[in-house]
Amino acid sequence: MIQKIAHIALVVKDYDEAIDFYTKKLDFKLIEDTELSKEKRWVLVAPPGANECSLLLAKAATSKQEASIGNQTGGRVFLFLFTDDFWRDYNNMIERDIYFTRPPKQEKYGMVAVFEDLYGNQWDLLEPNENNKGQL
C-alpha cells in the first residue's frame, strides 16, 4: 500500500494576498492557480525543494470558515517549515518583516523559531540537527 499527504488546505481571506505573501515573503513557488468558478480557485504553493506536499490556499466561503482564518489549530503551531540553513532563512524573513512569536532556540532536535503567517497561523522554522537531518 502507498499513501501520502498531497496537500494541506489553508483557509485564507484572499487568494492574491496569500499568493503574494507565500511567494514573496517565504519564497514558496506557485505551483498552480486555476480558476474553478468566479469565486473559487485551485491554488497550490510549496517551499523550494518540496516534492511530496503543498499548501492548498482555500478562500473562506462561509462565516464559519472566515472565523478559522489564522487560527486553524486553536493557537498551536500549525505547520513546520524545515530548512537546510536556519540563519539564512531566519534573517531573510526578518528583513521581510515576518513576525516571530518565539526567538531562535537550539533544541535537542535542532534550531527552531516560531513565526506567524499573514493571518496569524503559527509556524515552526526548523533546521533539524544531524541526528534528524533525514527528516529534511
Q: For position 125, what pLDDT does the model report?
A: 98
Q: Are residues 1 and 59 in the same domain?
A: yes
**Is residue 49 situated within a structural domain?**
yes
Q: What is the C-alpha to C-alpha distance for residues 75 and 122, in angstroms, rounded to an integer? A: 7
Question: Which stretches does DSSP call E strand in 39-99?
Answer: 41-46, 54-59, 77-82
Q: Are residues 34 and 93 in the same domain?
A: no
Q: For position 52, what pLDDT does the model report?
A: 85
From 27, 43, 63, give the residue that closes a domain: 63
Q: For position 132, what pLDDT does the model report?
A: 61
Q: Are residues 77 and 49 in the same domain?
A: no
Q: For position 29, what pLDDT does the model report?
A: 97
**Is residue 14 situated within a structural domain?**
yes
Q: For position 130, what pLDDT does the model report?
A: 77
For the entire predicted model, the pTM comes to: 0.91
Q: For position 111, what pLDDT does the model report?
A: 97
Task: Domain count for the chain, please give it.
Answer: 2
**Is residue 68 situated within a structural domain?**
no
Q: Are residues 81 and 136 in the same domain?
A: yes
Q: Are residues 3 and 48 in the same domain?
A: yes
Assess contact for 121 and 71: CB atoms under 8 A: yes
Range of the domain at 77: 73-136
Q: Are residues 13 and 55 in the same domain?
A: yes
Q: For position 32, what pLDDT does the model report?
A: 97
Low-confidence ranges of the chain (pLDDT < 50): none
